[in-house]
A and B are shown apart, each in its own frame.
Chain A
């Protein structure tokens, strides 16, 4: 099972980004193989529709969950129809390392 995390950097010490569509990096964590993949977000500076474009990018990696600080209003319909679970974590100081540890509960 793959999980995407919206992060503001490409290290495990980075924290959650405040935005999903315009975050700096997507971190794809594979729960089975424990592999971590960093994808720079090409939609970072888009004027509009960064959210749907990011959904497309993340969905192409066949993730089943997305963790972010916040989701825009265009995203829920898309993710519901793709059956991807949204997890809203209102703790922007959380490091990616801590989130991955939580996922391995």
Chain B
């Protein structure tokens, strides 16, 4: 059996730099083999320590499970610590990621399209060539089921109502205000409402 395939992690933007170099009189004498920080590890660090989101919120943004996110984050810290202590360079590249693309809407033919070539600016509609295009918010699109926003919510498995998650209280100790049943964290794989 081949191993289970990794889910592709979503990275919002590529980092502005390719890596880091140490400086100081000792740097020339050290082993210069760089530490390879993956894009997904960079993104994990950015979400949890720069944007100050918790692991659950970050995992939704990266479209991986919360435990997977924590593993990616732990590996990022380990690599950075290694680079700091051993005076190595950090190279940021690789990893199983995709860079998110933005959506646009064309007024001429009323189609929606995205732009996977991030470096090129979109000037006209790829379908009809109309130049009346504007950015488009995909959360309004019904066909792409994605968690909208990163509000830390608990969801009721019975009736589907949500309430804000209280930090420090496990989700299954939250009780639904509507029907009184136990709740689960919204966005986790087990928390899909059963539909008949």
Q: Which residues of A contact B (CB under 8 A)?
A: 65, 67, 70-71, 73, 76-91, 99, 102-103, 105
Which residues on the B side are within 8 Å of A67 (C-beta)?
A: 127
A82 to chain B, nearest CB (A): 8
Q: Is the interface of B mostly helix, strand, loop or mixed?
A: loop
Known contacts A77-B10, A80-B99, A83-B117; A105/B129 CB under 8 A = yes
Taking CB as reference atom, which chain B residue is nearest A67? Answer: B127
- Complex Cα spacing A88 to B63, Å: 22
Which residues on the B side are within 8 Å of A87 (C-beta)?
A: 111-113, 126-127
- Complex Cα spacing A67 to B116, Å: 14
* Number of B positions contacting A (CB below 8 A): 26
Taking CB as reference atom, which chain B residue is nearest A102? Answer: B128
Which residues on the A side are within 8 Å of B110 (C-beta)?
A: 90-91
Which residues on the A side are within 8 Å of B63 (C-beta)?
A: 77
- B152 adjacent to chain A (CB < 8 Å): no
25 contacts between A and B (CB under 8 A): A71-B143, A73-B146, A76-B101, A76-B114, A77-B63, A78-B8, A80-B99, A80-B114, A81-B8, A81-B97, A81-B98, A82-B116, A85-B114, A85-B115, A85-B116, A86-B113, A87-B126, A88-B141, A89-B109, A89-B127, A90-B111, A102-B109, A102-B128, A105-B128, A105-B129
- B144 adjacent to chain A (CB < 8 Å): yes
Which residues on the A side are within 8 Å of B8 (C-beta)?
A: 77-78, 81
A67 to chain B, nearest CB (A): 7
**Which of A71, A84, A90, A105: most chain B CB closer than 10 A?**
A105
Known contacts A77-B8, A77-B98, A88-B113; A71/B127 CB under 8 A = no
By the criterion CB–CB under 8 Å, are B145 and A73 in contact?
yes
Q: Which residues of B contact A (CB under 8 A)?
A: 8, 10, 63, 97-101, 109-117, 126-129, 141, 143-146
- Complex Cα spacing A67 to B125, Å: 13
- Complex Cα spacing A70 to B8, Å: 21
Q: Which of B97, B111, B146 contacts A88 (CB 8 A)?
A: B111
By the criterion CB–CB under 8 Å, are A83 and B126 in contact?
no
- Complex Cα spacing A78 to B146, Å: 15
By the criterion CB–CB under 8 Å, are B101 and A88 in contact?
no
Q: Nearest 7 pairs between A and B by C-beta?
A: A105-B129, A81-B98, A88-B112, A80-B98, A87-B113, A77-B8, A89-B111
Known contacts A77-B10, A77-B98; A84/B116 CB under 8 A = yes
Known contacts A65-B126, A102-B127; A79/B116 CB under 8 A = yes
B172 to chain A, nearest CB (A): 27
B107 to chain A, nearest CB (A): 14
- Complex Cα spacing A85 to B110, Å: 16
